[in-house]
């Protein structure tokens, strides 16, 4: 599933062709994805102008001049693809419709934005902009890891008394929004903390090291266009490149890249997810 860097990369790709632009026509080609689409979604989107395009956790939020916000979640395999307008160095004419093109937005500026989702775990919804932060998908989310509300005192306080493994705690979207399996593995390897260690057993100074590491890893991944493992693509169809910088995730059996460490990357399963770490240098 795309994590924060992938969703932010998609948002940035969509911004030049959607923000400030009117949706000339919305074509909704099925009744649902993961959940049913809201009633009259095509009608409510057609003619609306996107006043702002922002991100909350793993959701893209398109604020409309109609007073509603379109919530977009990419799910496991969802892609937002742009055609018909030059984006950066790439020009993409409108392709022929594909089987899994479920929502198509033709913008006044000539661009077409297509939501393609082969596995149909993605989602779209419409909610009043004034109430969108209390939407059921957003209401319980913790602070953004790249925002000012996420700092060392906050994380120390949140982890105090938690008996769950630190990896599980960092994946809890109520503690910090947008982190997923890939980037938590990378962060914990970077700071030398074992993913198996109880969150409450980690000293405050060591917890504090997590905050800049989380910011650094996410920022580096965004700069690289995210990580492409299976389905993820940027809005122009290009791959992300951060997977080439992985130090832990997916590197089972490889030599640990930590300086002076002679260990190898191992794999365990935590809460049904693969965890990659070095048992020698992550304590």
- pLDDT tens per residue, range 87-138: 455 555 677 777 899 999 999 989 999 999 999 999 999 999 999 999 999 9
The total of other beta-carbon atoms located within 10 Å of residue 115's CB is 21
Structure token pair of residue 89: 């160095």
Which residues are known catalytic residues? Answer: 2-3, 58, 273
Flag residues of the chain having pLDDT under 70: 1, 85-93, 227-244
The pLDDT of residue 241 is: 45
What kind of fold does domain 152-278 have according to CATH?
Helicase, Ruva Protein; domain 3 (1.10.8)
The pLDDT of residue 170 is: 98
The pLDDT of residue 225 is: 78
Picking from 194, 195, 180, 221, the residue whose alpha carbon sits closest to that of residue 76 is 180
Helix (H/G/I), strand (E/B), else coil: 13: helix
Q: What's phi and psi for 243, nearest 5 deg?
A: -60, -25
The pLDDT of residue 188 is: 98
Buried-state track 43-65, b at ≥16 Cβ within 10 A, e below 16: ebbbebbbeebebbbbbbbbbbe
The pLDDT of residue 85 is: 65
Q: Determine the Cα–Cα distance for residues 70 and 50; give it in Å rounded to an integer.
A: 9
Max Cα–Cα distance, the chain, nearest Å: 61
Domain ranges of the chain: 4-134, 152-278
The pLDDT of residue 226 is: 76
Picking from 272, 255, 110, 245, the residue whose alpha carbon sits closest to that of residue 181 is 272
- pLDDT tens per residue, range 18-27: 999 999 999 9
Do the Cβ atoms of 275 and 185 come closer than 8 Å?
yes
The pLDDT of residue 60 is: 97
Question: Out of 3.20.190.10, 3.40.190.10, 3.30.365.10, 3.30.70.890, which CATH number does the structure's domain 4-134 have?
Answer: 3.20.190.10
Structure token pair of residue 90: 């790439």
Structure token pair of residue 158: 């949140």
Tokens 């640990």 correspond to: 256
Helix (H/G/I), strand (E/B), else coil: 214: helix
The pLDDT of residue 163 is: 95
Q: Determine the Cα–Cα distance for residues 274 and 283; give it in Å rounded to an integer.
A: 18
The pLDDT of residue 112 is: 94
């Amino acid at each position: 599933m795309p994590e924060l860097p992938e969703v932010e990369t998609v948002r940035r790709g969509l911004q030049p062709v959607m923000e400030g632009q009117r949706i000339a026509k919305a074509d909704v080609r099925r009744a649902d994805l993961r959940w049913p689409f809201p009633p009259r979604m095509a009608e409510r989107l057609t003619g609306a102008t996107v006043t702002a395009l922002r991100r909350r956790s793993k959701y893209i939020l398109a604020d409309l001049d109609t007073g509603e916000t379109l919530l977009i979640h990419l799910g496991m395999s969802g892609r937002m693809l742009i055609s018909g307008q030059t984006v950066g160095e790439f020009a993409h004419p409108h392709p022929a419709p594909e089987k899994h093109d479920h929502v198509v937005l033709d913008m006044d500026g000539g661009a077409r934005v297509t939501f393609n989702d082969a596995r149909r775990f993605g989602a779209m919804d419409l909610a009043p902009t004034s109430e969108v932060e209390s939407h059921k998908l957003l209401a319980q989310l913790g602070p953004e890891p790249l925002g000012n509300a996420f700092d060392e005192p906050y994380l120390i306080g949140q982890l105090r008394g938690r008996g769950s493994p630190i990896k599980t705690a960092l994946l809890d979207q109520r503690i910090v929004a947008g982190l997923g399996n890939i980037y938590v593995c990378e962060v914990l390897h970077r700071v030398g903390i074992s993913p198996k260690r109880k969150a409450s057993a980690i000293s405050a100074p060591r917890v504090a090291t997590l905050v800049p590491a989380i910011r650094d890893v996410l920022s580096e991944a965004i700069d690289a266009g995210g990580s492409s493992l299976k389905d993820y693509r940027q809005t122009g169809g290009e791959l992300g490149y951060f997977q080439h910088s992985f130090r832990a995730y997916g590197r089972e059996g490889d030599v640990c890249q930590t300086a002076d460490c002679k260990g190898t990357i191992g794999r365990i399963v935590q809460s049904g997810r693969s965890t990659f770490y070095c048992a020698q240098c992550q304590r």
